[in-house]
Amino acid sequence: MEAVKTSEKTTLQVKRFKPSENPTTNFFTEERGLKAWLTTVDHKKIGLMYLGAVAFFFALAGFLAIALRTELWTPAKTFIEADTYNKLFTLHGAMMVFFVLVPSIPAALGNFILPMQLGAKDVAFPRLNLASFYIYLIGAVFTFIALFMGGFDTGWTFYTPYSSDGDSATVIWVTLGVFILGFSSILTSTNFMTTIHKLRAPGITWDKLPLNIWALYATSIIQILATPVLAITILLLSLENIMDIGIFDPAKGGDPVLYQHFFWFYSHPAVYIMIVPGFGIISEVITTFSKKTIFGYWAIALSSLAIAFIGFLVWGHHMFTSGQSPVATTIFSFLTFLVGIPTGIKIFNWVATLYKGSIDMKTPMLYVFIFLFLFSIGGFTGIMLGALSVNIHLHDTYYVVAHFHYVMMGGTLMALLAGLHYWWPKMTGKMYNETLGKVAATLIFIGFNMTFLPQFVMGAQGMPRRYYNYIDQFTPFHQTSTVGSYVLGVAFLIILYYLVKSLMSDEKAPANPWESRGLEWQSTSPPDLHNFDHTPVVINKPYDYHRPMEEFQLGLAVEHNGHGEAHDVDVKETEQENS
């Protein structure tokens, strides 16, 4: 067979092959022992280590949330002091944002899945990938040092001049932790972008790219462009604290509103760093469990990029009451509405995908449905907060707290849970208990709404956020919310229980239990150390669910491995089939 070179495209002759159902080795068995794990450059092991770290921080920050909600059971002191409360909510916010939400989907699930969806052996820079993980851990160590030095009570936003007043030593440690953490994000993103550009298997043209990859690509752009601004801000904050240079603190000649601009210039795009990877997971899961081609592939792919770009221009909507210029306030409000449109487009396309599908309500799909409902509420209340006059009333109340929990927990975390259950058999080779999975998902839905719906009401009635004491009229709302948080706690314990139990069990999961057409599912479960036996040639589109499962085999280049050719290849099959 001969590769025929035309003026534009290369035609690659391939034959089909199917990975073995019963492989003798996988990435767990090929490199064993603690040292092999700690020094591994395998993207799958690094992804799992991230997953473990993220789960640890989530459990810790979640536990803090339960403690905070318990304290709010009564209007005055319930069981902790005001200073302790202030430190705990700061820590809850900082850990959830910097140690859980930002790395969760890209660094944990993304690390594992991205190279496999591209048919690559690994990410482009495997050693850099391991370095990112250790930088992440070093950042965490700095935060714990700050904790042992007495903690910090500035809120995760570190607003000046409060954060530069009094005992600022702990603030310096924790912000340096965040500074270091930023490099982990930047390196992971650089790695992902390079991998997407350079390591796509032959046959994966840009229009065959899974939407999960488009989402991670958009996320990487934001991370690379926004994170350095956070680093600069933190550096300036430290300079001010250590060397007494007036930048943000008016007592030293600085301007506190400038800090807010710098901070939100990163932290607003960071919201999209947290949610856009979730969009990717939703597209993968919703097609698999409705067995249907995605509706509006380009609308979904390009809206991720649109969000990435417009998302850079709306940071000032966190500052409508701050005293910033009225002209800026007007423009930021206007742009905020524009960024809502691509998000709405995504929701409508996902719902349309379900039309005439073959819907199987397994646990991952249940989470997608929960996501669509909760995230829609998060979106609508975002529109509410973008409206100038209404924002003045709602800013810094529990309405805002409820809104961002609907987006971050109802959005990102539900997507993460969908992805975790969806890829669990791929990552571990084990199957979780489906019944317990659905029970936990239902409890999460109930507990979540019970926790955060009352917060919309009390926020609109005036309950300010970050309040240790509150006036009596808010008691029923706070108590409902607290009970809801306990329900959530129980649901997460159930998830922990059945996932750990599945790891202990001897039962093996099938290679592709969902009959997904995704490339990552065409390998063995758990995958081989190098993901695929051969460099695969991708014949089908990722969401061709109308074609029978048997057709979803990988191609194998007959003459050569396809590398060294342009990615623009026409695939032509040989007659002989190998199954």
Partner 1 sequence: MGRLFDFMLPENMSPLTADYTDGLFHFINEASTIVLVGITIALIYFAIRYRRKSSDDKTPVITHNNKLEITWSVIPLFITLIIFSWGYKGWLNLKAVPDDAYEIHVTGFKWNWAVSYENGAQTLNEIHVPQGTPVKLVMKSRDVLHSFFVPDYRVKQDVLPNRYTYVWFQAEEVGESQVFCTEYCGTSHSNMLAKVIVHEPDDFKNWLEMNGGAGGSGDPVEAGKELVNLNGCQACHSVDGTPGIGPSFKGIWGKEESLADGSTVTVDENYVRESILNPGAKIVAGHDNVMTPYEGILSDEDITNIIEYLKTIE
CA 271 to each of CA 110, 230, 312, 471, 554: distance values in angstroms, whole numbers, following the listed order? 17, 13, 10, 31, 37
What is the distance between the alpha carbons of residues 170 and 69, in angstroms, rounded to a whole number? 25
Least gap, CB of 574 to partner 1 (angstroms): 26
What's the chain's length in residues? 579
Show the CA angle centred on residue 442, arms to residues 441 and 448, nearest 5°.
85
Q: Check binding of 383 to partner 1 (CB under 8 A).
A: yes
461 binds partner 1, rule: CB under 8 A: yes
Site for partner 1 contains 310 (CB under 8 A): no
38 binds partner 1 (CB under 8 A): no
474 binds partner 1 (CB under 8 A): no
Which of 142, 470, 474, 552: binder of partner 1 (CB under 8 A)? 470
Distance separating alpha carbons of residues 413 and 492, to the nearest angstrom: 12
Whichever of 320 and 404 has its CB closer to partner 1, that residue is 320
Binding mask 541-570 for partner 1 (x = CB under 8 A): ----xx------------------------
Told to check if 291 binds partner 1 by CB under 8 A, we report yes
The reply to whether 472 sits near partner 1 by the rule CB under 8 A is no
Using rule CB under 8 A, residue 396 touches partner 1: yes
Binding test (CB under 8 A) with partner 1, winner from 167, 568, 570, 577: 167
- Is there binding between residue 360 and partner 1 (CB under 8 A)? yes
State in angstroms the smallest separation of the CB of 117 from partner 1.
20
3-class secondary structure, 391 = helix
Q: Whole-angstrom Cα distance, residue 403 to residue 409? A: 10
Q: Could you tell me how many residues of this chain bind partner 1 (CB under 8 A)?
A: 90
487 is a contact residue toward partner 1 (CB under 8 A): no
CA-closest candidate to residue 186, choices 273, 280, 247, 304? 273
Q: Using the rule CB under 8 A, give the single segment among 39-47, 52-60, 147-155, 273-281 that binds partner 1.
A: 147-155
Interface with partner 1 in residues 240-279 (CB under 8 A): 250-251, 255-257
- Closest to 409 in 3D by CA, of 450, 364, 374: 374
Q: Which of 198, 245, 240 is nearest to 217 (CA)?
A: 198
Contact call for residues 335 and 314 (beta carbons, < 8 A): yes
**Near partner 1 in 197-236, by CB under 8 A:** none
475 binds partner 1 (CB under 8 A): no
Window of 134-142, 194-202, 310-318, 383-391 that interacts with partner 1 by CB under 8 A: 383-391
* Residue of 185, 397, 449, 540 that binds partner 1 (CB under 8 A): 397
Q: How far is the CB of 60 from partner 1 (least distance, A)?
A: 22
Helices (H), 156-296: 169-198, 211-243, 256-290
Nearer Cβ to partner 1, position 30 or 360? 360
Within residues 501-520, the interface with partner 1 by CB under 8 A covers: 515
Report how far apart the first and last C-alpha atoms of the chain are (Å, whole number). Answer: 20
341 binds partner 1 (CB under 8 A): yes
With 0-12 / 13-18 / 19 or more C-beta atoms within 10 angstroms meaning exposed / middle / buried, residue 28 is middle
- Euclidean distance between CA atoms 437 and 451, whole angstroms: 21
Question: Does the footprint of partner 1 cover residue 327 (CB under 8 A)?
Answer: no
| Residue 295 CB-density burial (10 A; 0-12 exposed, 13-18 middle, 19+ buried) | buried
Nearer to partner 1, 330 or 505 (CB): 330
CA separation for the pair 464, 399 (Å, rounded): 9
| CA 519/CA 43 separation, integer angstroms | 16
**In the structure encoding, which two tokens stand for residue 43, read together?**
């993207």
Q: Is 331 in the site for partner 1 (CB under 8 A)?
A: no
Q: Least distance in Å: CB of 341 to partner 1?
A: 6
Q: Does residue 149 contact residue 173 with C-beta atoms inside 8 Å?
A: yes
Question: Can residue 162 be called a binding residue for partner 1 (CB under 8 A)?
Answer: yes
| In the complex, least distance from residue 53 CB atom to partner 1, rounded to whole angstroms | 29
Min CB(40)–partner 1 separation in Å: 37
| Residue 575: exposure state from Cβ atoms within 10 A (0-12, 13-18, ≥19) | exposed
CA distance 346 to 303: 7
357 binds partner 1 (CB under 8 A): yes
Which ranges of 291-315 would DSSP assign to H, the alpha helix?
Answer: 297-310
Q: Which of 145, 313, 384, 439 binds partner 1 (CB under 8 A)?
A: 384
Binding mask 413-452 for partner 1 (x = CB under 8 A): ----------------------------------------
d(CA 521, CA 87): 44
- Looking at the Cβ atoms of 39 and 461, the one nearer to partner 1 is 461
Please report how close the Cβ of residue 171 comes to partner 1 at its closest, in angstroms: 13
What is the helix (H) or strand (E) element at residue 570, kind and residue range? Answer: strand 569-573
Residue with tokens 């939703």: 282
> Which position among 369, 404, 474, 477 is part of the footprint of partner 1 (CB under 8 A)?
369
CB 372 → partner 1: shortest distance, Å?
6
Q: Least distance in Å: CB of 323 to partner 1?
A: 5
Site for partner 1 in 83-142 (CB under 8 A): 83, 86
Angle 414-428/256-290 helices, nearest 10 degrees? 50
Q: Which of 63, 144, 206, 380 binds partner 1 (CB under 8 A)?
A: 380
